[in-house]
């Protein structure tokens, strides 16, 4: 997909990411894609610890364990049902109160629907991670998700970092909408820095679907794959604050479009369950 907003000369002036980082972005998208699959015995070829779900909010995900990388991966599914889309539409900003969180800045506000969704499975996820870290105390934690799952992975990252402060934590979101206000974005940036990866594919309209005019703001760091075909050369690291005017925020939202469904040439919900 070509983007009309920039000419070829401007695109070639962008700084590409490294092949190693690009491979990592693809690697964790495969986990996010597996979260759409009702039964996935080996997510991304790794050991499935436990799936989790909530029948009221229709949140679905799983925890996997990668013994080679020594990490626990929490993957959360994106919107797939009417319930999910109803939760997506609850745009009121509310204080961030979640299991395991003791204190956060008083002015932090997050999307009420996303918070309800995450809190509906938070206790279960915390207990699974607690049990696994009891057996594998030197393992790190990675959270990932696409679309709604990406927004929930932000909330999960903050919760799990507060609950398990000694475990290194990384986060990868793909096509995620804005999740909270400016105080939230600043808190994420300060707490995670380069450990937070927010990926946007070309003209994906979901990341900009919730407008800044409602008080929302993206956190960093955005990795924008600005042109197809996907590669490290066509993916750039945007400014760390999250709202780089030269990256995906420069494109008027197109809502849920083909660019939202495809990342790195992979259709979301592709089952990497071998």
- Active centre residues (catalytic): 147, 204, 260
Report how far residue 14's alpha carbon sits from residue 10's, in angstroms, rounded to the nearest whole number. Answer: 7
Q: How many residues does the chain have?
A: 274
Contact at 8 Å (CB) between 73 and 142? yes
Cα 208 from chain centre: 14
Handedness of CA 18, 255, 217, 12 (dihedral sign): positive
Contact at 8 Å (CB) between 109 and 181? yes
- Cβ count within 10 A of residue 160: 24
The CA–CA distances, whole Å, from 18 to 7, 33, 232, 237 equal 23, 23, 6, 10
**Interhelix angle 148-163/182-192, nearest 10 degrees:** 60
Of 225, 223, 222, give the one whose Cα is nearest residue 241.
Answer: 222
């Amino acid at each position: 997909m070509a983007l009309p907003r920039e000419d070829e000369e401007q695109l070639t002036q962008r700084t590409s990411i490294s092949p190693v980082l690009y491979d990592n972005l693809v690697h964790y998208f495969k986990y996010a894609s597996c979260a759409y699959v009702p039964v996935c015995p080996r997510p991304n070829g790794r050991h499935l610890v436990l799936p989790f779900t909530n029948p009221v909010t229709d949140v679905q995900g799983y925890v996997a364990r990668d013994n080679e990388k020594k990490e626990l991966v929490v993957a959360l599914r994106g919107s797939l049902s009417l319930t999910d889309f109803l939760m997506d539409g609850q745009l009121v900003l509310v204080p961030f109160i979640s299991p395991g969180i003791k204190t956060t800045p008083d002015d932090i506000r997050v999307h009420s629907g996303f918070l309800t969704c995450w809190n509906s499975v938070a206790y279960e996820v915390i207990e699974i991670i607690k049990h696994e870290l009891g057996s594998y105390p030197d393992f790190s934690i990675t959270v990932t998700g696409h679309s709604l799952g990406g927004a929930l992975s932000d909330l999960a990252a903050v919760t799990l970092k507060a609950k398990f402060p000694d475990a290194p934590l990384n986060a990868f979101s793909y096509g995620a909408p804005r999740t909270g206000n400016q105080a939230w974005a600043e808190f994420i940036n300060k707490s995670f820095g380069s450990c937070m990866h927010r990926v946007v594919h070309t003209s994906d309209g979901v990341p900009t679907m919730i407008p800044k005019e409602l008080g929302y703001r993206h956190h960093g760091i955005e990795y924008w794959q600005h042109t197809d075909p996907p590669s490290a050369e066509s993916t750039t690291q945007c400014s760390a604050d999250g709202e780089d005017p030269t990256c995906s925020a420069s494109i008027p939202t197109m809502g849920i479009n083909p660019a939202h469904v495809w990342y790195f040439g992979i259709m979301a919900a592709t089952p990497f369950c071998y």
